[in-house]
Amino acid sequence: MTPRRKRLLAVLAIVAGVGAAAALAMLAFRDNLLYFYNPTQILAGDAPTGRTFRIGGMVTEGSVQRTPGSLEIRFVVTDYRSSIPVRYEGLLPDLFREGQGVVAHGRLGASGEFVADEVLAKHDENYMPPEVAESLHTPTPTRVSE
Amino acid sequence: MIPELGHFALILALLLSVAQSVFGLGGAARGNAAWLAAASSAVVGQFVFVAIAFGALTWAFVERDFSVLYVATNSHSELPLFFRIAAVWGAHEGSLLLWSLCLAGWTLAVTAASRSLEAPFRGRVLGILGIVSIGFQLFMLATSNPFARLIPAAPEGLDLNPLLQDFALAVHPPILYLGYVGFSVAFAFACATLIEGRLDAAWARWTRPWTLAAWSFLTIGIALGSWWAYYELGWGGWWFWDPVENASFMPWLAGTALIHCLAVTEKRGLFKSWTLLLSVAAFSLSLLGTFLVRSGVLISVHAFATDPARGAFILAFLAVVIGGALLLYAWRAPRLASSAAFEPTSRESFLLLNNAFLVAALSLILLGTLYPLFMDALELGKVTVGAPWFNLMFLVPMLPLVALLGVGMHAAWKRGMLGSMKARLWTAAACAIAGAILIGAAAYADLRPMTTIGFALALWVMLSSLLIPLARLRARQTLPAAVIGMVIAHFGVGLTTLGITGVQSFKVEKDFALAVGEAASIGGYEFRFAALRDARGPNFTGVEAEFTVSRAGEEIAVLRPQKRLYNSGGNPMTEAGIEVGPARDLFAALGDDLGQGRWSVRLQFKPLIRYIWLGAILIALGGAIAAVDRRYRLRAPAHAVGAVAPSAP
Amino acid sequence: MKLPLRFLVPALAFAVLVGFFVVGLSRDPGQIPSPLIGKPAPAFALESLGDPAWKVGSADFSGRPWLLNIWGSWCVGCRQEHDALMAIAGQGRVPMMGLNLWDDRARALRWLADLGNPYVSVAFDPEGRTAIDWGVYGAPETFLVDSAGRIVKKHIGPITLDIWEREFLPLLPVPEGGP
């Protein structure tokens, strides 16, 4: 095989490989992109019903309820405009507390309750998920007065 | 007083970095030997003053000087000495100072070890390293001053994040930074080569040991982070594809590709422009990682608390340094086309494939890491890319890479006739497959296709690596450091593959609600909740649970997970109880008091997980050994494209 | 000098990437310490909310630590943090000035009358010019200024007593004359 042909073959192989990889990547993306919604968006119906997504907000003070002796726990997530009840079974991360920010991963149940399969651990006590902070902090209006 | 001295030292360091850049690059361009000598002196000066600044900040922490804002926000009077020192790099400002210290250190090392390089080339290398130093020191002085004062001084500090009060995480940043920052040397060598328009490949030989050393540090740094996450943080997880983790993994992948293609460029003068591009890319990824972690553009549970204004500064710096290097590449690289023939089964071919697969993996991880940013910028929603995607995308190029690794190690340059090795390799392959089936069937009574493939590949690489010293000793050939290093590193890859396959295939993780006296079973092990008692430490209180673990009725371990409350307040912290064995880890973590005398606990069975990090240690060791091979010690300078003015007496 | 296009690809790809980063940075108002931490608090002198003839400003508390709370009657989170602000004011450790932002005077005064007034004084910043100097992106935000006039802490979003105790109190001087 001439060097030229070899190079052509190499290029074709690379293009085919890249194409296959890209197709595979895009396909896999669909199931693995996790969208984030705050409680207001969820109540407005923006969040998908059959798929897993992430919810974030503050844990409403006094809302944490445990079924005594069991791993099941219920709490309410709020963005100070709307609230969503969450149900979770399992160990909670250390940095989970009432009055602090939280992000949970799961699905919306039929009853409007969010069933979490994971409550995300944070690495800093003072950490507030950026999406949550944005909901709590109203940006200044761009017009002078109403 | 001392913090002000530190601040002043930092300013002097910045001035010396400017001098280093100006005299280095200018001296080379003008052929001025005095300037070039001045650049070397500036390097020493810069290192001294950055070290003084770092020392001043450390002193402020050790002496509990809460009149320094950074100390007040990251330390506490009851914090033990070791962690008071580790707190120096515990947050943004201090970690930047660490970055600068590492850079100054590498620059000093390059200056000291490269006296036999021609002066103009050396000057350019130092000049470029100087530009990077300027960026970091300016960033600190302008936006992130670690020496800012708090008046009046706080009576007590806010304490170092309890998560960081741990040995592994304390040493993780310095080692990681030595790695990240060390790629700047390859970057500088590449840029200097491009500026000079060199056509030869001597720079590849000079760059290789520095890159190997940096890469080894980075390997250990990443392994430490993973190990720490496992026992401290992730409830048994060891890798999460979190953007901050990816930020250190991507330079590692680029670095791995780089050390391999440097071999080809050095030996055969091939792939010159690709190697140069990769040298630029590895450090660019380090800088990119720094940006991602500190600017707030990416959603990560891991990121430093930072700031878009600071992000803008880093971005501008990135644009100048990386953009400049890439434009330099576009201008000069076309000259460097090399053409030498090589057979499809030659070593060059295998190393080309190595690079192709590593770059494919790197690109996919980069895509997954940046995708949320693209989506957000285009206002398409706030997303994160889940771990399963990354797992799949990483696996696909890695499988063929590991498989081919076993053969490529034995391929000869240019012609690539495997010759006598062929028979031995077939035997090794057969043994690997047999071994994989054996492990699956005997140890785990489970023969899944992916698991068997994983074990087979792991054993294949390990056996194939061992064939090299065996063959060489038999043929009475020498075993230079470079070869020993390669064998050890590749063996480590096999070991890591073994660990990953074992854990991902057979791990068991389950949450239980248990009262004292009750027991639960997973993976054939019974965990009995034996006792609950109070726990106490130098700066915390809490509870400790005692679990006795038995298998087939025989007690084999006692685990003592704790739940701690640090005196400085804040959320409780979990310390897992882990029992390490040659073939598995047993893991127990204490959750919360559930009422009715029950506690939530997470119990885990983690087969072969330690081999992941043991493999990584071997990989780093291999790199370090290869870096000190005699043939990399610089001797007579190679011929340069430009001439140098004779040095003044 | 011929420049084969493929060698420019990395530089161009990088330029596109930087473009995305610029957009990403500008879209993320941030939730964390500003570059003003450690720097002198920007000086201002504005009309008081209640009485336009009276001026309030950053010089009012020189020599002592003080708090600046950014709020508006339009701001949801401000309502949320109001109780905490009243409690903090009740402790009497540090004087708190309010900066009323992008608001209508009558509405703001009514808000304070309805809910209670935790502020020693309130500056009226209807067009947000002073707020911009302080790097304010919205409300609520709370700043702690030390006795040398430097900003030492910034909190974005509603403040709670817990945050006050854990993050602000440790930075204050011990009260004189004992507990």
What CATH number corresponds to the domain at position B55? Answer: 1.20.120
What domain range is A55 assigned to?
36-136
- The ipTM value here is 0.81
Using CB atoms and an 8 Å cut-off, which of residues 32-61 of chain C contact chain A?
Answer: none
- B437 and B585, same domain (yes or no): no
Share of chain B above pLDDT 90, in %: 52
- A84 and A26, same domain (yes or no): no
Asked if pLDDT for residue C1 goes beyond 60, the answer is no
Chains in contact with B, where contact means 3 or more Cβ–Cβ distances below 8 Å, are A, C
Residue A88 domain flag = yes
Residue A68 domain flag = yes
> What's the total number of domains in chain A?
2
- A4 and A53, same domain (yes or no): no
What amino acid occupies position B381?
G
pLDDT digits (tens, 9 = 90+) for B542-582: 999 999 999 988 889 999 999 988 776 666 888 889 999 89
CA distance B299 to chain A (A): 7
Q: Is the pTM of this model over 0.90?
A: no
Asked if pLDDT for residue C35 goes beyond 70, the answer is no
Residues whose CB is less than 8 angstroms from the CB of residue B133 and which lie 6 or more positions away in sequence, other chains included: B13, B17, B20, B21, B46, B100, B103, B104, B107
Q: Is A61 on the interface with B (CB under 8 A)?
A: no
C-chain residues near B377 (CB < 8 A): 20, 23-24, 27
User: What pLDDT, on a 0 to 100 scale, did the predictor assign at position B237?
Assistant: 84
Using CB atoms and an 8 Å cut-off, which of residues 131-150 of chain C contact chain A?
Answer: 131, 136-141
- A72 and A87, same domain (yes or no): yes
Instruction: Compare all CA atoms of chain A with the CA of B591 and give the residue at the minimum distance.
Output: A91
DSSP alpha helix (H) spans, B507-632: 610-627
- B525 and B501, same domain (yes or no): no
Across the interface, whether the CB atoms of C102 and A141 are under 8 A apart is answered yes
- B250 and B266, same domain (yes or no): yes
Residue B60 domain flag = yes
Residue B645 domain flag = no
- B157 and B15, same domain (yes or no): yes
Of the candidates C30, C35, C38, the beta carbon closest to that of B296 is on C30
- B95 and B22, same domain (yes or no): yes
**Band (C128; pLDDT cuts 50, 70, 90):** confident
CA distance A115 to chain B (A): 17
User: What pLDDT, on a 0 to 100 scale, did the predictor assign at position A124?
Assistant: 43
- A126 and A54, same domain (yes or no): yes
- B98 and B188, same domain (yes or no): no
Across the interface, whether the CB atoms of B376 and C24 are under 8 A apart is answered yes
User: What pLDDT, on a 0 to 100 scale, did the predictor assign at position A132?
Assistant: 53
Residue A118 domain flag = yes
Mutate: best of B326, B359, B370, partner C, most C CBs <10 A: B326
Q: Give the residue ranges of chain A where pLDDT is below 70.
A: 1-3, 6-7, 80, 121-146
Chain mean pLDDT for chain C = 83
| Tokens 């493929």, residue located | C6
* Region B185-206 average pLDDT: 89
> What's the total number of domains in chain B?
4
The two three-digit tokens of residue B310, written as one number: 């600071």
Angle at A126 between CA B142 and CA B368, to 5 degrees: 80
Weakest-pLDDT range from A130-144, B58-72, B458-472, C82-96: A130-144
User: What pLDDT, on a 0 to 100 scale, did the predictor assign at position B211?
Assistant: 96
Residue B649 domain flag = no
Q: Is C105 on the interface with A (CB under 8 A)?
A: no
Residue B403 domain flag = no
* Region B245-258 average pLDDT: 95
- Among the ranges A90-104, B102-116, B196-210, which has the highest mean pLDDT value? B102-116
- B157 and B205, same domain (yes or no): no
The two three-digit tokens of residue B452, written as one number: 């068997």
Instruction: Compare all CA atoms of chain B with the CA of C172 and give the residue at the minimum distance.
Output: B154
Of the candidates A33, A36, A70, the beta carbon closest to that of B513 is on A70
Chain mean pLDDT for chain B = 87
- Cβ-Cβ pairs closer than 8 A, A with B, add up to 118
Maximum Cα–Cα distance across chain A: 77
- B226 and B105, same domain (yes or no): no
- A40 and A20, same domain (yes or no): no
CA distance to B510, B513, B545, B597, B646, per residue, from B517 (Å): 18, 12, 11, 11, 84
User: What pLDDT, on a 0 to 100 scale, did the predictor assign at position B373?
Assistant: 83
CA atoms in the 13 A half-sphere facing the CB of A55? 36
- A57 and A129, same domain (yes or no): yes
What domain range is B44 assigned to?
1-165
What amino acid occupies position C22?
V
- A47 and A115, same domain (yes or no): yes
Distance CA A102, CA C32 (A): 17
Residue B629 domain flag = no
Residue A145 domain flag = no
A-chain residues near B596 (CB < 8 A): 68-69
CA distance C6 to chain B (A): 8
Q: Phi and psi dihedrals of C169, rounded to 5? A: -55, -45
A-chain residues near B376 (CB < 8 A): none
CATH number for the domain whose boundaries are C31-171 = 3.40.30.10
User: What pLDDT, on a 0 to 100 scale, did the predictor assign at position B570?
Assistant: 66
User: What pLDDT, on a 0 to 100 scale, did the predictor assign at position A74?
Assistant: 94
Across the interface, whether the CB atoms of A91 and B388 are under 8 A apart is answered no
User: What pLDDT, on a 0 to 100 scale, did the predictor assign at position A57?
Assistant: 81
